[in-house]
Amino acid sequence: MTQNPTKAESHLVPPALNTVSGAGIEVPTQVDASAVNPENIGQAGEYPFTRGIFPDGYKGRLWTIRQYSGFGTAEESNERYKFLLDQGQTGLSVALDLPTQCGYDPTHPMARPEIGKVGVSLSNLSEAEILFQGIDLSRISTSFTINGTAAIIYAMYLAVADKQGVPREKLTGTIQNDILKEYVARGTWIFPVRPSMRLIADSILYSNDVSPRFNAISIAGAHVRDAGATAVEEMAYTLANGLAYVDELQRRGGDVEKFAKRLSFFFYVHMDLFDEVAKFRAGRRLWAKLMKERYGAQDPKAQMFRFGVVCGGSSLVAPQPYNNIVRVAVETMAAVMGGAQSIFTCAFDEAFQIPTEFSAEIAVRTQQIIAYESGIGRTVDPLGGSYFVEQHTDRMEAAISEVMDEIESYGGVIPAIEDGWLQLRLAQRGLDRKRKTDTGETVIVGQNHFRTQGEQAGVDEIFRLDPGVAQRALEKFQKVLDTRSQTAVDASLAKLAGAASNDQENLMPYLVDCCHAYATVGEMVATLKEQWGEFQEPVNL
């Protein structure tokens, strides 16, 4: 005879499985095989690229294994990068601290409490030289998660390559450089929307010419996903932002057949495996259609949807943290079966601290086990042709298109951001997600279901940031100020100001010159603020 659980045991009662996916799409118990349209599937490496952009999948080249890393000073982060490379990581993913992201030098009152805490402090070229010391930039792909100051950090990277004697055309990697999602989801914006769009276009067009293998933008849905968006909305907002960038580049005279080849995308992978696989397949197909039908791109490479992912983010939780290893493994499999070109796996302790070397190594090993032991990368699009996956991809595409149409009917993402419409919509979605988690409607194992009474969450190793980081950063910063040529700095900043006042000038050469003169991030941002002002967040109730 089955007894009702006591109050103390009620947290162990298994909830019923939800019949609606995380993306809000009804999942049928049985799938009608006749509903699959073979014309939508096609072949990998062929338009519309539903099954992938390469005909041989990962056999020709494995995805790039990256770990998002950076903390404290450039010396500490350089040491961590070398450790990760020794563990088999094949690309760098640089985390910058909040002062660098927001355009403040370490000496600024707003910056001092945050120096080196969520990323590396990178205030000037001297720090960048230390960060990449002993790392051959001609042989390693480097990704930067940076937006408001992205053009400046890209200029700094070019200057480091110049110092190393590495030809710019050999540089590979990505700079995130997606300011539109910052206004909606993260908040590390600096300038108003339209001058920010100019700066992004400048960096993309300049990179096309001087570093043609480098991706000067990674249009990111990851942060809107973590802020509360569903998988459908994440893809819809990202593609809508992508269209805004393409429109701006065309307005600036860019050739879509050229610049579209270096556009890349970036997403979070959450725990609904089939939602995530279908999201990537649908997004790849939609983008190819948009580039061909809306913009007339004929070169297949200009139609391709190339993307990297983070497996983790807000899907990881602090209670029972070792469960996160399983979550990251599931998400990594979804990324591989969805055809990602670059994968970063979060460490299991990332929900509450900077990863230790122990946890970071497990995250790298997770990718390596899936790459070399699981077998899921041996064939292209291994879920392709599944009745359920194909229909789920179709439903996902239709839902994404519906959201994109809604944004377009508003006037596009730029007016929607300037009016605060998108921000309000995302905030409401985030509140809805929180409510479902708090009530247990959304099951999070170890957090709101299947908890052990009296348990204490914890890990064996705690990362502790050296309390002397801020002081060392300030001392090094002052040394740069004392030893650089102030005349050269003043001259480079004056030229930058003049160029910023002229809409016809590309600002990138001036930013590179400023970096070579050891002008600081804060000085360059302040110079541009004098010309453009700052973004004012709209308030909607």
CATH of the domain at 362: 3.20.20.240
Among 441, 443, 434, 451, which residue's Cα sits nearest to residue 327? 443
Residue 275 covered by a domain: yes
Please list the pLDDT of the chain residue by residue as tens digits (541 residues): 344 434 444 455 667 888 899 999 999 888 888 878 887 889 999 999 999 999 999 998 999 998 888 888 999 999 999 999 999 988 899 999 999 999 999 999 999 899 999 899 999 999 999 999 999 999 999 999 999 999 999 999 999 999 999 999 999 999 999 999 999 998 999 999 999 999 999 999 999 999 999 999 999 999 999 999 999 999 999 999 999 999 999 999 999 999 999 999 999 999 999 999 999 999 999 999 999 999 999 999 999 999 999 999 899 999 999 999 999 999 999 999 999 999 999 999 999 988 898 999 999 999 999 999 999 999 999 999 999 999 999 999 999 999 999 999 999 999 999 999 999 999 999 999 999 999 999 999 999 999 877 665 567 777 777 788 899 999 999 999 999 999 999 999 999 999 999 988 999 999 999 999 999 999 999 999 999 999 998 876 5
What pLDDT is recorded for position 43?
94
At residue 202, φ and ψ (nearest 5 deg) are: -55, -50
Residue 488 covered by a domain: no
Beta-carbon count within 10 A of 447 CB? 17
First-residue to last-residue Cα distance in the chain: 54
Those residues with Cβ within 8 angstroms of residue 401's Cβ, 6 or more apart along the chain or in another chain: 236, 286
Beta-carbon count within 10 A of 194 CB? 11
Residue 379 covered by a domain: yes
Among 213, 208, 226, 439, which residue's Cα sits nearest to residue 317? 226
pTM of the model: 0.93
Residue 190 covered by a domain: yes
Tokens of 413: 């993402």
Whole-number Å distance between alpha carbons of 239 and 514: 33
Q: Which alpha helices (DSSP H) does 373-485 contain, by range?
A: 387-410, 413-418, 421-439, 469-483
Whole-number Å distance between alpha carbons of 425 and 438: 20
Find where tokens 């701006």 sit: 248
Whole-number Å distance between alpha carbons of 131 and 111: 20
Helices (H) and strands (E) in the chain, counts: 20, 9
Contact 171, 213 (CB under 8 A): yes
What pLDDT is recorded for position 3?
41
Residue 30 covered by a domain: no
Residue 89 covered by a domain: yes
Domain of 149, in residue numbers: 63-439
Task: Please compute, for residue 258, the number of CA atoms within 13 A of its CA located in the half-sphere on the CB side.
Answer: 13
Those residues with Cβ within 8 angstroms of residue 121's Cβ, 6 or more apart along the chain or in another chain: 72, 73, 74, 97, 99, 100, 106, 115, 127, 469, 473
Those residues with Cβ within 8 angstroms of residue 490's Cβ, 6 or more apart along the chain or in another chain: none
Helices 387-410 and 273-289: angle between axes, nearest 10 degrees: 60
Find where tokens 């020794």 sit: 86
Domain count, the chain: 1
Among 384, 173, 409, which residue's Cα sits nearest to residue 285? 384
Contact 280, 268 (CB under 8 A): no
Torsion of CA 243, 248, 249, 252, to 10 degrees: 160
Beta-carbon count within 10 A of 29 CB? 5
Tokens of 2: 């089955």
The arrangement of strands across the sheet holding 342-345 comes to 214-215, 172-175, 141-145, 91-95, 64-69, 342-345, 306-311, 263-269, 217-220
Among 75, 121, 79, which residue's Cα sits nearest to residue 97? 121
Residue 470 covered by a domain: no
What pLDDT is recorded for position 500?
97
What pLDDT is recorded for position 457?
57
What pLDDT is recorded for position 456?
59
Q: For 44-68, what is the HEC assignment?
A: CCCCCCCCCCCCCCCCCCCCEEEEE
Residue 263 covered by a domain: yes
What pLDDT is recorded for position 9?
43
